[in-house]
Amino acid sequence: MTITLDDPLQPSLLSVEFRGDIVENVHDGHIAVCNAQGKLLFFYGVPSVQVYGRSALKIIQALPLLETGAADHFQMSDRELALCASSHSGLPSHQAGVRSLLARIGCEISDLICGCGPPYSSNAHDEMLKSGEPMTAICNVCSGVHTGMLATAVFCNELTRGYEDIRHPVQKRVLDAVSDVTATPESAIQVGIDGCGIPTFALTLEGIARGFARMTRTSHFQTKRASAVKRMLDAYVRHPEMVTEEDSFATRLIRAFDGELIGKEGAKGVFALLHRSKGLGIAIKVADGTKESIPSAVMAILSQIDCLPNLPPSLERYVKAELKNTCNDVIGRIESRIRLQPMRSTQRE
């Protein structure tokens, strides 16, 4: 079957989910793979589909923290930089990190507009309930990013109130970073409101893949941005446990490949990653917004583009993709159906 970019924006089958031998769910979606020059190399579904990058773009959204000089002024460590570009799990180490940063920049928990929610980690949530510790905005998975944004506002002598508004200098800098890194004109980026209250940006899936690919070659950017990109990627590699948690797929991916592969999940079925030495960027959007099929999709993509020569033991579980119940019994599996299509020049004509 020939697939062209002129087809309607219909997703393609990513994976099939079995319970026993019966198909219980199917997951459709889109994939884009770009090189560091921004060229689309492979696709599946429709790479031109416009999607909200959600938290997958946090590594880009956090760049102004470094570019303004705020991170250095407040003496932020790599561990703290990773936290400021995270979707953390609300573990004690995450909450303590946010609390420490807020104190250092002279802000209060009440300055965070991300809202209060229980920790993403069920263990952390249970411990807080047992101890009677109140849940605050610090528990929110996005509190680290918000704290980083507050830090830039404080350092630049700007009002912290309203930092979430797209018209605020904080968000104008973020939009500039997203536009520059992804090589997408600001006029082509749609702005929505994320679950935590700050702007979230919609652009083509290809644009997201292009942005991640471009981050592997910092010569694309001016000096300040190039330095910020490198430092943020290095922070992710050194402290992936601050970005999510130790047992997450993204953390396992980073550790298994010694930082060659760096990935970040976004809400509603978005995942983006890059391969530093090969100069590749990959973006995935699951059409139904679920995330269960993302790990197996990533592993299938890496295999098909020759980025998985040897399977690290810590990632075997994502290739087999067994489904287990609360008793730890294997009750099903997820099978990938991805068949990447190579991009041909005639498809752009």
341: tokens are 């299509």
Q: Which residues contact 329 (CB under 8 A, 6 or more apart)?
A: none
User: Which CATH code, of 2.40.10, 3.30.390, 2.60.120, 3.40.710, is assigned to 12-348?
Assistant: 3.40.710
| E-strand stretches of the chain | 12-19, 22-35, 40-44, 50-52, 190-193, 199-204, 261-266, 270-275, 280-286, 322-324, 330-336, 341-342
Q: Which residues contact 98 (CB under 8 A, 6 or more apart)?
A: 83, 88, 138, 143, 144, 147
Angle between helical axes of 143-155 and 92-105 (0-180°, round to 10): 10
CB contact at 8 A, 26 and 175: no
Tell me which amino acid residue 349 is: E
Per DSSP bridges, beta strands 199-204 and 270-275 are unpaired
- Residue 2 has a pLDDT of 43
> What is the chain's pLDDT, residue by residue, as a tens digit (349 residues)?
344 555 546 899 999 999 999 999 999 999 999 999 999 999 999 999 999 999 999 999 999 999 999 999 999 999 999 999 999 999 999 999 999 999 999 999 999 999 998 999 999 999 999 999 999 999 999 999 999 999 999 999 999 999 999 999 999 999 999 999 999 999 999 999 999 999 999 999 999 999 999 999 999 999 999 999 999 999 999 999 999 988 899 999 999 999 999 999 999 999 999 999 999 999 999 999 999 999 999 999 999 999 988 888 899 988 878 899 999 999 999 999 999 999 985 455 4
For residues 122 and 159, give the distance between their C-alpha atoms in angstroms, rounded to a whole number: 35
For residues 106 and 94, give the distance between their C-alpha atoms in angstroms, rounded to a whole number: 19
CB contact at 8 A, 124 and 102: no
For residues 198 and 75, give the distance between their C-alpha atoms in angstroms, rounded to a whole number: 25
Instruction: Count Cβ atoms below 10 Å from residue 29 Cβ, excluding itself.
Output: 29
CB contact at 8 A, 37 and 186: no
DSSP assignment string, 62-123 = THHHHHTSHHHHTT--HHHHHHTT------HHHHHHHHHHHHHHT--GGG--S-----SSHH
Residue among 296, 286, 244, 236 at smallest CA distance from 261: 236
pTM: 0.94
